[in-house]
């Protein structure tokens, strides 16, 4: 008998096909309340994404649950303590999207700082026929501050070096063997850089870490980029900073309550918005899907999973 899986979000077609051949799959969006209740005793695995929320109460709903396989790097929405208490294995797909996300962070930085979207609209609306587009800020040779020098932050630093930038970072501890200057707090880092890029993990420890004081420190010529977690930024403070010119611009791929983006952000001309797509290249999504399948296959065949969290 095939193990029963619950799919919390739509998955790549290639993964759906492979799963269907080996598992009894049910999409949460297709279940009414009665169907979900009937399914609860037999669900042995859940496939989540980095944006999924699984609280202790939700994990407890599935008494036969053995594994939660996350299609993504982040897992801060999953109650790991509850998973441990209920003897539920949690896996994720780390390292596969590093280069794509670092690329995208640079793309957002360039787009926001050089005002590419505004310039595109300027041309399309005929503005170029009667005037010149205003000057914009230089990126090369600037000072980049990286919040979280993990895999993605380190890959971003390599790209920033190619742009002739000086690099500094903040994190829980100073890293050995790293040539970049370390700051013990994000506000101190923001005060000394031109571009502040968030690459940190989400969760309670980083909740609203980038607040009004940090944005004030970044200053009226500073640019903020977030490709990590929307919860790390105080969105109300960011809207005020953008609206009042306390920072120059922002590039955001993540938001606090996805996919709902604050209306105030949608109205601002000095912010570039994208739908949490930094990691979604064809190659990366395919590799992540393969790793999710391999983790599930290993678990249900009694083998160690490849990329465990819990």
Active site residues: 229, 258, 276
Residue with tokens 């396989």: 69
For every residue of 24-89, DSSP letters joined together read EEEEGGG--HHHHHHHGGGEEEEEEETT--B-HHHHHT-TT--EEEEESS--TTB-HHHHHHTT-E
Q: How many CB atoms lie within 10 A of CB 259?
A: 8
Within 8 A by CB and 6+ apart from 277, the residues are 104, 253
Helix axes of 98-113 and 116-124: crossing angle, nearest 10 degrees: 60
Q: How many CB atoms lie within 10 A of CB 188?
A: 14
Closest CA to 11 of 290, 261, 283, 308: 290
Residue with tokens 């009667």: 130
What are the Cα distances from residue 251, in Å, to 10, 108, 202, 206?
A: 26, 5, 18, 19
CB contact at 8 A, 108 and 102: no
Within 8 A by CB and 6+ apart from 138, the residues are none
């Amino acid at each position: 008998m095939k193990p029963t899986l619950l799919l919390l979000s739509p998955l790549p077609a290639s993964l759906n096909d492979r799963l269907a051949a080996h598992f009894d799959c049910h999409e949460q969006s297709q279940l009414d309340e009665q169907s979900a209740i009937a399914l609860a005793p037999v669900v042995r695995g859940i496939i989540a994404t980095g944006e999924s929320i699984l609280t202790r109460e939700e994990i407890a709903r599935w008494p036969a649950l053995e594994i939660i396989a996350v299609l993504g790097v982040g897992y801060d929405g999953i109650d790991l303590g509850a998973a441990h208490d209920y003897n539920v294995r949690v896996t994720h797909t780390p390292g596969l999207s590093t280069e794509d996300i670092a690329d995208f962070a640079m793309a957002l930085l360039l787009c926001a700082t050089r005002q590419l979207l505004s310039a595109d609209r300027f041309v399309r609306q005929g503005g170029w026929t009667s005037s010149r587009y205003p000057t914009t800020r230089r990126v090369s040779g600037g000072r980049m501050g990286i919040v979280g020098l993990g895999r993605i932050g380190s890959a971003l630093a390599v790209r920033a070096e190619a742009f002739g930038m000086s690099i500094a970072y903040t994190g829980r501890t100073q890293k050995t063997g790293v040539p970049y200057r370390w700051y013990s707090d994000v506000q101190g880092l923001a005060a000394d850089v031109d571009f502040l890029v968030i690459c940190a993990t989400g969760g309670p420890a980083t909740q609203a870490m980038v607040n009004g004081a940090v944005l004030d420190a970044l200053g009226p010529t500073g640019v903020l980029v977030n490709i990590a977690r929307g919860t790390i930024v105080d969105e109300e403070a960011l809207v005020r900073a953008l609206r009042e010119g306390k920072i120059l611009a922002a590039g955001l791929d993540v938001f606090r309550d996805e996919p709902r983006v604050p209306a105030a952000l949608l109205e601002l001309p000095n912010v570039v918005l994208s739908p949490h797509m930094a990691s979604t290249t064809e190659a990366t999504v395919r590799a992540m899907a393969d790793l999710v399948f391999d983790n599930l296959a290993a678990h249900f065949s009694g083998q160690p999973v490849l990329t465990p969290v819990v």
